[in-house]
Amino acid sequence: MNLVLPIEDAFEPDHGSSPTDRFIYEMQIYGHRAFQDEPDPRPLPEEPVVQSALTAMFDALFEMLGDTRLEPDLEDLFWSIPNLFHRAGERIQRELDRNEEAQRTGQREQDGSEVKSVELERHVSEGITLLERRNAFEFMRDFSADLFESQTGSTWRPRTGSKVSHANMTAAMIDSRDFLSARRRAETEVLVPAGTKIAFAGGMDYNDHERIWSKLDQAHAKHPDMVLLHGGSPKGAERIAACWAEARKVTQISFKPNWTKHAKAAPFRRNDDMLSVMPSGVIVFPGSGITGNLADKARRLGIPVWQATGDGA
């Protein structure tokens, strides 16, 4: 049996496309990835919120596992918290490297067209976001590393990579070339920060920590903005100097020999690299011929050298 609709229900007028319909149609045709196809408008987490949350995490772990059979595992668990943010920062750094290459490619391909110009602008915006994200994770890592030290009494160090905190960069970039040059400038300032640079050297068998700390304290009193340069030896005088820098919150730069690249000449090339920064002075404690080589080269460059003798003079 055929149904006959009333006349008033059989007529349906044409409707214009609504904004919702248009949005759904665009998504069906072109697709959409949340916060990837355009700059993410959401703000970064506020520093007080981050500090409060991380402090609560450490406190919660201690309350849960302290005075239990799992307490010996607390230090490893505490260590993993800053390492979590350290690994995230390294991952974003790799994305930033790829973004830089994309910007360089975009610069070469500029032909005056709007398409190429918009694409390059998108890469610049992504680069700025990546910088801000990396710096945020480095802040989280550094703050949780301080909490690790307060809980365990040991300094947190990554098992791979370097613990580097990049200076904050302005988001007011004009174009891609300004962005890339600003990034390179920031990277250089991180590796060679501002301040009075004092080089330090000593043997791996020299362990008079009181004498080393006393001399470094004298240098620090004379140069409050002191930056300590040393060879990064795992024990001996340079290890003691590194501990001093950590305790005094003095910026330190470790110049480790590149054995793979320079073989037996690595320690001497390391000395050249350290002196290329042109430190204001060199502190030398008893050590090997490599230590003496640093002192001799510094004198030839006109850099003041304070050299301790083995008898304590």
Which residues, 6 or more positions from 197, have their beta carbon under 8 angstroms from its beta carbon? 226, 227, 229, 277, 278, 279, 280
Structure confidence at residue 74 (pLDDT): 92
pLDDT tens digits for range 274-312 = 888 889 999 999 988 899 999 999 999 899 999 887 554
**pTM, to two decimals:** 0.50
Residues 40 and 131 in one domain: yes
Residues 152 and 203 in one domain: no
**pLDDT band, residue 255 (cuts 50/70/90):** confident
Q: Kindly tell me if the per-residue pLDDT of 313 is higher than 50.
A: no
- 187 within some domain: no
Residues 41 and 97 in one domain: yes
The DSSP line for 41-88 is -SPPPPHHHHHHHHHHHHHHHHHHHTTSTTGGGHHHHHHHHHHHHHHH
As a whole number of angstroms, the distance between CA 71 and CA 73 comes to: 5
The residue whose two tokens read 């290890």 is 239
Closest residue by Cα to residue 230 from 211, 202, 189: 202
Where residue 205 sits, what CATH number does that domain have? 3.40.50.450
- 169 within some domain: no
Q: Across 23-27, 81-85, 109-113, 253-257, which has the greatest mean pLDDT?
A: 81-85
User: What residue spans of the chain are helical by DSSP H?
Assistant: 7-10, 19-30, 47-65, 74-108, 114-152, 176-191, 209-222, 237-248, 259-262, 266-276, 289-300
Last-in-domain residue among 163, 182, 210: 163
- 256 within some domain: yes
**pLDDT band, residue 10 (cuts 50/70/90):** low
Contact predicate 145/121, CB 8 Å: no
**pLDDT band, residue 60 (cuts 50/70/90):** very high
Structure confidence at residue 263 (pLDDT): 86
Residues 239 and 299 in one domain: yes
Q: Which of the two residues, 204 and 10, has the higher pLDDT score?
A: 204
Structure confidence at residue 170 (pLDDT): 33
Q: For the chain, what is the mean pLDDT?
A: 81
**Considering its fold, how many domains does the chain have in total?**
2
Measured in whole angstroms, how far is the alpha carbon of residue 284 from the centre of its chain? 30
Q: Which segment of 39-43, 178-182, 263-267, 285-289 scores lowest on mean pLDDT? A: 178-182
Average pLDDT over every residue of 220-233 = 91
As a whole number of angstroms, the distance between CA 217 and CA 124 comes to: 45
Structure confidence at residue 100 (pLDDT): 84
Enclosing domain of residue 110: 19-163
Structure confidence at residue 141 (pLDDT): 92
**pLDDT band, residue 171 (cuts 50/70/90):** very low
Residues 201 and 292 in one domain: yes
**pLDDT band, residue 188 (cuts 50/70/90):** low
